[in-house]
Structure 1
Amino acid sequence: MENYAPFFVLGAAVLALIFAAYKFFAVKKLPEGTELMASISSKIRSGAMAYLKRQYKTVGIFFVVMVVLLAVLAGFGFLTPFVPFAFLTGGFFSGLSGFVGMKIATYANSRTANGAKEGLNKGLKIAFSSGTVMGMTVVGLGLLDISVWFILLKFVFRLPIDEIMAAMLTFGMGASSMALFARVGGGIFTKAADVGADLVGKVEAGIPEDDPRNPAVIADNVGDNVGDVAGMGADLYESYVGSIISCGALAVAAGHGIGGVLLPMLIAAIGIVASIVSTFFVSTKESATQKMLLGSLRKGTYSAAIISAIASFILIWKLMPGENGLFGAVISGLVAGVLIGFFTEYYTSDSYKPTQKLSESSGTGAATIIIDGIALGMRSTAIPVIIIGISVIASYFFAGGMGSFESGLYGVGLSAVGMLSTLGITLATDAYGPVADNAGGIAEMSGLPGEVRERTDALDSLGNTTAATGKGFAIGSAALTALALIVSYTDKIQDLDPTKLNLTITNPATLIGLFVGAMLPFLFSAMTMQAVGRAAQKIVVEVRRQFREIKGLLEGKAEADYTSCVDICTKSSLKEMVAPAALGVLAPIVVGLVLGCNGVVGMLAGALVSGFVLAIMMANSGGSWDNAKKYIEAGNFNGKGSENHKAAVVGDTVGDPFKDTSGPSVNILIKLLSMVSIVFASIVVTYGGFGLF
């Protein structure tokens, strides 16, 4: 079975890509609507493509430099010769995942708006189909990259299993690097446009959201695609492959051999099949409430989890006889993912009290809704931390941690794989949100009837909740994966020079590393949020200028200059994304050279703990602020145009960089730090610490 299993994984990857292609062309065949709707969609698509081309050129320079550096290190014997190529493929497929997702999203936006003219279910089906393309592309390309590398290294180069996993770990660094650039750059673009458009258009000028008179409206819709779709695709590709590869590396350390390495790959392959089947369960009724819409998507995600769980039990029973406890580890991850998703939904959906109470606090102004929103986000961190803690303990003991420390850690890695095993459909429920958001903008700009905008708003509000849920999955899996990567790093140091490790808390290097690591997510978040602020200021100035200088614009008698706002966002985001991304790459190298390997372990642990909590807080605060605004816009607490509404818009603009720039980027940061540390471990062992640590 061990000789055939990698080809089954490859087959599942191909199946996912075929299903994604089928859905892609099925959506593209649907009518776009009126000529004006098609024209607006075309402008959004052109702006998004122009941004991605310029972003990939910028990121390409970084990848060329890194490939040369890794090749030099490989030439001196610090790395295997496969590392530069693995790094390159990881980055390429991460970027490609985002590109394909953005491509379908920009085709589906006008088609979703047109479908919403027929009914809510039609709009949901089209938007969800586009999300399915994204989900299946991410998991398909992820398993394609993993399976092809594994087949080449095992059957062509005939490397032993420990060397195979050591080489494969490094393409996670390429995926993480690309994901960080995509998330940060796209996040700066989308939130700069969103904040600028809302502050001047909705608050100062008093015009509706997505009004064609707003010069930043096209940039805002472009941003939904480059940040919330392309950035998210690269992000979750990195999370997916990182969890599988790190689990395989732990299997080697635990002595489970090739069967243990193949198990996470096969669980992921089963998850693809389960996700495809479950996409057919998603539908809703006309005039559905938010709870009913959420229930429609839950049918898909829950059924995928059940199918995956049953199939995983059979797989473990056959592949690893006598190790049935591993099934408990997988289930702990699946259950933890579902629970984190539910409680994220509870704190961010306007169907529940936390967000409804947040909306009520808008009655006393912007300050109170901001205070309450931050408090809500802080409070919401408690349950996910407890869930992850229980999942770690459960998976550790289920996998035999009482008898073998390494086996227990392998169980923790499997729980991360279990959490992301149904990513195909989980990501579909997440990626559909930006499409629904764009559809609402197109409906507004093309003057469609009010009931169409009501339907797209309902889908958009649901999208805010599912996006927060998707971020919860990504953050939860990031914590488990980063923990597995820290263990992989310490295992590598043990192999290189076991005398170097001294991880007692009183070791100065470890203690300083803990402080530095705890600080890094905050410094990183500050850099990305200030980047959004600087870019948004430029948009605010430009929108005010156009309102002031273009005669008849506010009266609807002249057309805004949309291109200038798109260009400002593009230039600003590409410039601003460099420093935060550089921090993620350089920090572990600098810490390693100064404090040695013990300082690096401390840094990784500190970044993991503070980054996990900070990312949850920001994602949930931002999601709740956004839905509080929409709850008021739906007619609650005095409705649109009221003082409550204006306060909620300010809260939402604060939350924008929280939930769509800094928050989701932090979970990439904590894994990138680990990946870079593993790749440069030989350098740190040889030259790090100046002989003092």
Structure 2
Amino acid sequence: MQVVPLLALALQGSNNLSTPQTGDDGRFYLWVALGVAVVALGLALMLARAVIASDSGTAEMQAISNAIREGAEAFLKRQYQTIGAIALVLAVVVFVGYHLSPRTAPYAGKTVVSFLVGAVCSGLAGFTGMYCSIRANIRAASAARSSLDRALKLALRGGAVTGLVVVALSLLGVASLFLLFGGLDHPEQVPFQLVGFGFGASLVALFAQLGGGIYTKAADVGADLVGKVEAGIPEDDPRNPAVIADLVGDNVGDCAGRGADIFESTAAENVGAMILGAALFPVFGLKGILFPLIVLAINLIASIVGVFVVSTNETENPMNALNRGFYVTSALALIGLAGAVYSMLNGPGVHPEWLLACGVVGLVTAFLFVWITQYYTEARYRPVLSIVEASLTGPATNIISGLAVGMETPAMPVVVISAALLLSYFFGVKGLEDVTIVSNYAKGIYGTAIATMGMLSCAAYILAMDTFGPITDNAGGIIEMSNQPESVRERTDKLDSAGNTTKALTKGYAIGSASLAAFLLFSAYLEEIKTLVEQKLAVAHAAGLATSMPAGWSFTNINLAQIPVFVGALLGAMLTYLFSSLAIKAVGRTAQMVVKDVRDQFRENPGIMAGTSKPDYARCVNIVTSAALKEMVIPGLLAVGLPVAVGLIFKHFSSVYQANASFDSAGVALVPTIAGQVVNLAGAESVAGLLMVGTIAGVLLAMLMNNGGGAWDNAKKFIETGKYGGKKSDAHKAAVVGDTVGDPFKDTAGPSLHVLIKLLATITLVLAPLFV
């Protein structure tokens, strides 16, 4: 009989499933989740049609928008061809790896199918979001000629298409695979087979975010250095050959890349929570497994309402209107979450009020991450103002101040994450304290899963606000390049300023959810290793070999004093820095190519600066596209290959570096043994060390880069409003240099790092059979 992953965590001393105590098997909820996903996709289509049907401006505006659209679509097509080839190779690796273990061989085909479905859905989510954003930009720009409110609504609803499609596809993909793999007949066995879905989503998200990030920041840096600093021309000036590439980059990085990123977050956290729900199957039955799907369905409904309540006037800060929508979404999500907890997570001995408290912890965590990110990236607060003041004395002091702010930013988020984990674990134990058939550890871990789902309960609206950013940025560029009146530019500047904040908020939100999700997936990895060991002991016993399983042994205590574990931990921390270095270097090398091309065009065609001839935008777009696709491959393969290499190398040298080999005073083994030989756990433990410390280092470094880069950006924009000398002043030039340093931080390395964190978790969980 197959041992269900994580089941040993829940059942104290038995692998036999008891009848769930909840009565109703909960099948109704699966159909509700599927129905809401389909309806949300239909509404996203209606929103997209409504946005595209809006006025598309003048012929000159359309020409600029068409150039952006063609460049973005060409890049994404070539990028997905590269990602598809890598995904197919990894699918073969996963299939072969699963056939190496008798325990996982029966699931090889299903895991590969779920991996490919996750990859396709992730790519589709990114493409769909960008498809609408590159068409909403000109509609928002045209609307800004007459009304700030109309422009705001078009930009947000264009962004809502991305949010709804991403969350709905995640929900539809997981729910459909659960149904296809027989989840209604064997619900406790199916969730682990869905891990491949999260891995496929993570893989596409990493390359989409990395490639898009390299593209957008290389074009941005190149355009700023030659345009603003050398030539002294404004941002989005049509004389700058790199300006179209810069506007294309907003879409391929912030729309397609972030869409795939948030899709991966919802997919991985959904699957992780379902796995933990399977561990509590004797308590909640099918409803405990399906609970994460219902939370995502609630998320879609609440986000739809939140989007439609947003409106503003000519004098209001658009950020206030967006925040109102966020508050409405959060309130509705809380009400829905309470209903889901009380109707699904119930039974003898269960205290749903404590489990609801876990969800509230997640919602509060989301609020706090949004507030902390605002504090560190908005110009009305101390961190950004300190960078502004440092700009008065030159680029060096600007960079020193910006780095100091970046290094400060992880402090408050780490306290919030720690408090969220501790509180949700405690509340989970309290909520199930009268249930005797599961361990306290299982109760607490499920509490953290509920908190994670609570944090995700506003994901669709958060992503709508994120995509709002590049839409309004593009709208401002279109207005600037088509020489519209200053009053129109003032409206798009307001929207663009709000969009910069929303993009920063989403990065903070994504790293917060990544931190909670990584802990869940790390716990799942540890328990899967234990399950694999139990399988090996069962096979050895059947073969007549003497076996020994210490009473109560579990693979949950990783000893850092063991050489393989310590080395794995060092390599995990190193990976985050080396990966970031490769990403930032890629931006630098590609930006140098952009700078050279812009200088060459200025030199070759003096009519460009005189305004009598147009630059060759397509040449610059092609340069950035080719370079970005080439540069994304090595850091991506490093992220995938290092954990696998560490696990296999230490497994091979286990006779020299045997981890966890300890005995008590009577000489009795404290670890599993087969025929007197300690089970080989060196590979598994080294990977656990890499995963644990790599996650911690990645979270901290991502916070530094995301918030530090955002602070540099808004310091520059604050000076551009006319303060401290305004544009073209020495302070402005210093701020532009600082913003140039922060660009690859906040839009390339930082966002890619929180995808890397979850990729490490999913790839080690999927390939765990190779390490034992």
TM-score by length of 2: 0.86
Give the corresponding residue for 1:44.
Answer: 68
How far has the Cα of 1:309 moved from its partner?
Answer: 1.1
2:356 is aligned with 1:320: no
1:376 corresponds to which of 379, 390, 405: 405
Give the corresponding residue for 1:144.
Answer: 172
2:26 is aligned with 1:31: no
Give the corresponding residue for 2:742.
Answer: 655
Report the secondary structure of 2:189's partner residue.
helix
1:494 corresponds to which of 489, 513, 530: 530
Map 1:80-91; keep pairs closer than 5 Å: 80=107, 81-91=109-119
Q: Choose 162-171 or 539-548, whichever is displaced more.
A: 162-171
Report the secondary structure of 1:476's partner residue.
helix
Map 1:549-560; keep pairs closer than 5 Å: 549-560=604-615
Contact 1:253 1:491 in 2 (8 A): no
Contact 1:359 1:648 in 2 (8 A): yes
Task: Give deviations 1:190-210, integer Å, cap 9, x for gaps.
Answer: 000000000000100001111
How far has the Cα of 1:155 moved from its partner?
Answer: 5.5
Give the corresponding residue for 1:355.
Answer: 384
Map 1:649-688; keep pairs closer than 5 Å: 649-685=736-772
Task: Give deviations 1:601-642, integer Å, cap 9, x for gaps.
Answer: 111110111111111110111111111111111111111111
How far has the Cα of 1:351 moved from its partner?
Answer: 2.7
Give the corresponding residue for 2:198.
Answer: 172
Report the secondary structure of 2:724's partner residue.
coil
Give the corresponding residue for 2:581.
Answer: 526
How far has the Cα of 1:143 moved from its partner?
Answer: 0.4
Q: Choose 464-473 or 117-126, whichever is displaced more.
A: 117-126
Task: Give deviations 1:367-412, integer Å, cap 9, x for gaps.
Answer: 1111111111111211111111111011101111776111101111
> Percent identity at matched positions?
46
Once residues 70 and 219 of structure 1 are traced to their aligned partners in structure 2, the CA distance between those partners, rounded to angstroms, is 37
Contact 2:98 2:769 in 1 (8 A): no
Report the secondary structure of 1:465's partner residue.
helix
2:91 is aligned with 1:55: no
Report the secondary structure of 2:522's partner residue.
helix
Q: Residue type matched to 2:251 in 1?
A: N
Q: Choose 392-401 or 476-485, whichever is displaced more.
A: 392-401
How far has the Cα of 1:241 moved from its partner?
Answer: 1.1
Contact 2:27 2:286 in 1 (8 A): no
Give the corresponding residue for 2:306.
Answer: 278
Q: Residue type matched to 2:209 in 1?
A: R
Q: Residue type matched to 1:182 in 2?
A: A
How far has the Cα of 1:170 moved from its partner?
Answer: 1.4
2:329 is aligned with 1:242: no
The runs of at least 4 aligned residues of structure 1 exceeding 6 Å deviation read none
Give the corresponding residue for 2:668.
Answer: none
Contact 2:197 2:267 in 1 (8 A): no
Once residues 610 and 213 of structure 1 are traced to their aligned partners in structure 2, the CA distance between those partners, rounded to angstroms, is 42
Task: Give deviations 1:238-268, integer Å, cap 9, x for gaps.
Answer: 0011111111112223444422211111111
How far has the Cα of 1:314 moved from its partner?
Answer: 1.8
Note the residue ranges of structure 2 that are not aligned, 5 or more in a row: 1-23, 434-438, 535-548, 651-682
How far has the Cα of 1:482 moved from its partner?
Answer: 0.6
1:391 corresponds to which of 411, 420, 425: 420
Report the secondary structure of 2:584's partner residue.
helix
How far has the Cα of 1:503 moved from its partner?
Answer: 1.2
Give the corresponding residue for 1:691.
Answer: none
Once residues 414 and 378 of structure 1 are traced to their aligned partners in structure 2, the CA distance between those partners, rounded to angstroms, is 30
Task: Give deviations 1:2-60, integer Å, cap 9, x for gaps.
Answer: 11111111111112111211110110001111001011101100000000111111111
Give the corresponding residue for 1:10.
Answer: 34
Aligned length: 680
Map 1:588-667; keep pairs closer than 5 Å: 588-595=643-650, 596-667=683-754
Report the secondary structure of 1:483's partner residue.
helix
Q: Residue type matched to 2:65 in 1?
A: S
Contact 1:187 1:660 in 2 (8 A): yes
Contact 1:323 1:399 in 2 (8 A): no
Once residues 419 and 320 of structure 1 are traced to their aligned partners in structure 2, the CA distance between those partners, rounded to angstroms, is 18
Contact 2:375 2:381 in 1 (8 A): yes
Give the corresponding residue for 2:375.
Answer: 346
TM-score by length of 1: 0.96
Give the corresponding residue for 1:482.
Answer: 518
2:501 is aligned with 1:465: yes
Once residues 645 and 714 of structure 2 are traced to their aligned partners in structure 1, the CA distance between those partners, rounded to angstroms, is 41
Give the corresponding residue for 1:689.
Answer: none
Map 1:306-455; keep pairs closer than 5 Å: 306-321=331-346, 322-324=350-352, 325-400=354-429, 404-455=440-491
Q: Higher helix fraction: Structure 1 or Structure 2? A: 1
Contact 2:98 2:767 in 1 (8 A): no
2:560 is aligned with 1:510: no
Contact 1:420 1:473 in 2 (8 A): no
Contact 2:183 2:189 in 1 (8 A): no
Note the residue ranges of structure 1 that are not aligned, 5 or more in a row: 686-693
How far has the Cα of 1:551 moved from its partner?
Answer: 2.6
Once residues 245 and 408 of structure 1 are traced to their aligned partners in structure 2, the CA distance between those partners, rounded to angstroms, is 18
